[in-house]
Structure 1
């Protein structure tokens, strides 16, 4: 990314991705998510559209269907494709510090921003989950 410097502002690309196809029109919501120290985050869920996020402070244990769990640290960006992909984990990875992140969610109008996944669906799709660390 090249930006002509006409001020003292510094533009630092954190992450770039081609936007997947989303329904038209699309609703967009920006959320601040705060997870208390050692908090487990939300239960497994899905989003109707893609989600772009930025970790403000702390660390999050992050896991999407088909991908190994990983730690996202303050200053890092992340992405969820949405649709039929299950988001398994968004736990605070730190036992003594709160974690905060911002997400920009693209949503199908009239659908909720997230839908929880029930035990039957988790069981039916267990083969799609990446192997768990030992």
Structure 2
């Protein structure tokens, strides 16, 4: 039996809130995956895409340029969190902002049932929706 009188109290101050959001409804049968993504120095990242459900991320090291449809691009540095609603929203950028170090980030994605988690957006759709892209 463990003596609980000697237990540390570090747990009481160990939590740091990174972000808090109200995601869209999570459909019955959805599943969750957590991935680590690492792009080499200067890499532009994934082409414009969308996710079937919301995604929550955290930059572990380096700097990422993050751009969602309707929002101007923003720079995220190590220790910063991000999220996207998924569904119809286009994720334009997630590339490495630095030419000297890799960027590494984690993403936890909630996948809609029977749908791909990552879908590239075709060029013709990007052209049709160009008015929805914020100036940055």
Q: TM-score, normalised by structure 2?
A: 0.90
Deviates more, 1:60-69 or 1:15-24: 15-24
Which stretches in structure 1 are left out of the alignment for 5+ residues? 1-5
Which residue does 2:67 correspond to in 1? Answer: 63
Which stretches in structure 2 are left out of the alignment for 5+ residues? 1-7
Of residues 10, 15, 23, the one that matches 1:8 is 10
Displaced runs of 4+ in structure 1, greater than 4 A? Answer: none
Per residue, is there more helix in 1 or in 2?
2
1:24-103 matches, within 5 Å, as 24-103=28-107
C-alpha distance in 2, partners of 1:22/1:127?
29
- Aligned residue pairs total 128
Q: Secondary structure, in 3 states, of the residue corresponding to 2:94?
A: strand
1:118 aligns with 2:122: yes
Partner deviation per Cα, 1:74-103 (whole Å, 9 max, x = no partner) = 000001110000000001000010010000
Q: Secondary structure, in 3 states, of the residue corresponding to 2:100?
A: coil
C-alpha distance in 1, partners of 2:101/2:113?
35
Q: Secondary structure, in 3 states, of the residue corresponding to 1:19?
A: coil
Kindly report the root-mean-square deviation, in angstroms, between the aligned alpha carbons of the 2 structures. Answer: 1.3
Q: TM-score, normalised by structure 1?
A: 0.91
Q: Which has the larger radius of gyration?
A: 2
